[in-house]
A and B are shown apart, each in its own frame.
Chain A
Amino acid sequence: MMRDSFSSFHPIVNFIYFTCVILFTMIFMHPLCLGLSLCCAFIYSVYLNGRKAVKFNFVFLLPMLLIMALVNPAFNHEGATILAYLKNGNPLTLESILYGVAAAAMIVAIVAWFSCYNAVMTSDKFIYLFGRIIPALSLILSMVLRFVPRFKEQIRSISAAQRCVGRDVSNGGVLQRARHGVTILSIMVTWALENAIETADSMKSRGYGLPGRTAFFVFRFDSRDKKALAFLLGAGAYIIAGTFAEGLYFRYFPSIKGTFTPYTWSIVLVYLALSLMPVAINTWYDYKWRFLMEGERSFEEGT
């Protein structure tokens, strides 16, 4: 497993990177941008989560992309190029198919980016950034995001315990299974309620909400963060300026039309650099690390 050096940057750098990348993916419908974003999200998610990400991308995201691309022309019939007519009389258009592909690529790219976000932006980083500005909301957000995995974990352990006494959902006939399922759910709800009260008590006894508290982790904003932030803001500003100058103009309806001028390519290039920033940083730090190790080894051998 490779080390993610980008995670060791200051949280503000991580956060601005993900905001930029996710927002740009959501806003730009230019096929170059979408394709690029999808590829970069794929690469970074595989870099971060390894084999798990490959499995997730191919088993879950790829079918989702295909289904969504196919569903769109069934409901959307706009477009100048009529390929055929559907059974009910509405036209099947080339534009609606391509738009479906684009929209599907966008959603899949966003899901992949969020899987990267979850790996890099841990909840302590989020609270470090927003704990002072929006204390209640940032706490709630980090708790809510933790909610689902935590419940999943708990339900798995309850289910395992029930299986030991022969009362799991995999034991018995249909009716019995349903009964066991309800029992597990009831145990789960009881646990959740009790846990909520315990959490509240625990937080209160540790002085939650008192003034002058600090974060558990101390993040330093050093020169490499400064450089990374400058790059992020510069690239982001260039891309945003480019969209306002119609450099990324692309339309799907009524007929497909878009710009592919050198200016567009320059924006896309900056976008590529921005999206691949963490991968580039990781590769550079890996190289540096290996170089240092080798230097040390050759130094040892030399003496």
Chain B
Amino acid sequence: MMKITKGKIIAAAVICALLAASYIMGGGYAVKDGPPAEAAGAQTAAREKTDAVPAETDEVSVETRKVPGETEAVPGEAEAVPGEAGGEKAERGSSEQGGGRLSAEEKLALAESMGEGSSEGVEKGSKDYSRLQGMELDPGTGKDIYLTDPVPEGRPVPVEPEDAAISDRQLTCTLSVRCDTILNNMDALDPEKTELVPADGAIFATAKVTFYEGESVFNVLLREMKKNKIHMEFVNTPIYNSAYIEGINNLYEFDCGELSGWMFKVNGWFPNYGCSRYQLKEGDVVEWVYTCDLGRDVDGYYATGGE
């Protein structure tokens, strides 16, 4: 009944070509040349800030340590860049080298291969330790009912927000919200949002904040953002029994490339569960950081579900 004519074949070919083109050219993530220049860029940027935020110095040394191991191919570049003056120069260099665009799949593979062994902020989970701490793991999958892997030794196990007993006792912790990684990826950022990125990357500068015993990282973030009139949007995800932070200061997930979003770490560790399930203790250091590369650029790749 249906005749195959020339026009139909041409139409089909055009549709296929369009789909292929959108697959290849799509995506807003500007590809960088690889870890050396980027690490160096982050390092120079961090070095400029060393006087302001002493906590970051360890991170820098960590990154420097890991650079030679990963990048045997281009060690010359990695050494050349830090010698130069500003972080801006390194940044420009990186965007020049990474002219091409990759498909989303290739980017994921790239992030995975680069994230290997580089996640200093993430440690391997320990089943026995987690069980001992009261985490109920499913013997079949090795995860708890909210799909959380065992936590590493010495780290607290998740506390469900509905079980948390919040008392009147006031405690203090350190909170900061930063988006330094965007400064290195300005070309990938939604152009309407450039004005929102602070020059020093600090949306909420490191400060001691009060909270009540039993509260979670999410409770503290929500209260402090409200108090300081900083915009923050979250959505509750029942499958992980936690809030998911979509955007802070109108900087949303996916605003700086398709691998970007907000992550949090406590005492230098990226928990492998949601912020509503992390119960804070006196003196904890909570850092909210924006990643442009699925956690790789903030040393938290495995926390985003790699492997």
A is bound by B: yes
Interface SS of chain B: helix, strand, loop or mixed?
A: mixed
Q: Which residue of the partner chain A has the closest CB to B223?
A: A89
Q: What chain A residues lie within 8 Å of B208 (beta carbons)?
A: none
| Listed residue (A80, A85, A251) with the most chain B CB atoms within 10 angstroms of its CB | A80
Determine the chain A residues whose CB is within 8 A of the CB of B250 once the complex forms. 78-80, 253-254
Chain B residues with CB below 8 A from A85, complex form: 226
Q: CB-CB < 8 A to A88: which residues of B?
A: 236
Please measure, in the bound complex, the distance between the C-alpha atom of A93 and the C-alpha atom of B231, giving whole angstroms.
Answer: 9
- CA distance in complex: A254, B236 (Å): 22
CB-based contact B196/A90 at 8 Å: no
The winner among A80, A88, A90, A93 for most chain B CB atoms within 10 A is A90
Q: Which listed residue (B192, B193, B229, B233) contacts A90, Cβ 8 A? A: B233
B268 in contact (CB, < 8 A): no
B196 touches A91 (CB 8 A): no
- A82 interface neighbour in B192, B222, B231, B234, Cβ under 8 Å: B231
The distance in angstroms between the C-alpha atoms of A82 and B229, with both chains bound, is: 8
CB distance from B16 to the nearest CB of A (A): 19
Chain B residues with CB under 8 A of A91: 231-233
CB distance from A141 to the nearest CB of B (A): 17
Closest to B196 in A: A254
Smallest CB gap from A76: residue in B = B233
Q: Tell whether A177 is near chain B: CB-to-CB under 8 Å.
A: no
Whether B252 is near chain A, meaning CB under 8 Å from some CB there, is yes
Indicate the member of A80, A82, A89, A253 with the most B CB atoms within 10 Å.
A89
CB 8 Å contact bits of B231-242 with A (1 = contact, 0 = none): 111101000000
For residue A237, give the distance in angstroms from its CB to the closest CB of chain B.
Answer: 25
A89 touches B222 (CB 8 A): yes
Q: Mark B283-303, 1 if CB is under 8 A from A, else 0.
A: 000000000000000000000
Contact B193 A254 (CB under 8 A): yes
Q: Say yes or no: is B201 at the interface (Cβ < 8 Å to chain A).
A: no
Is B156 positioned at the interface, with any CB of A under 8 Å from its CB?
Answer: no
Q: Does A179 contact B (CB under 8 A)?
A: no
* Chain A residues positioned under 8 Å from B192 (CB to CB): 251, 253-254
Chain A residue at minimum C-beta to C-beta distance from B235: A90
Bound together, the chains give a CA A89 to CA B224 distance in angstroms of 12
In this complex, which of A77, A79, A93 has the most chain B Cβ atoms within 10 angstroms of its Cβ?
Answer: A77
28 of the cross-chain contacts (CB-CB < 8 Å) are: A77-B231, A77-B233, A78-B231, A78-B247, A78-B250, A79-B231, A79-B250, A80-B231, A80-B250, A82-B229, A85-B226, A88-B236, A89-B222, A89-B226, A89-B234, A90-B233, A90-B234, A91-B231, A91-B232, A91-B233, A93-B231, A251-B192, A253-B192, A253-B250, A254-B192, A254-B196, A254-B231, A254-B250
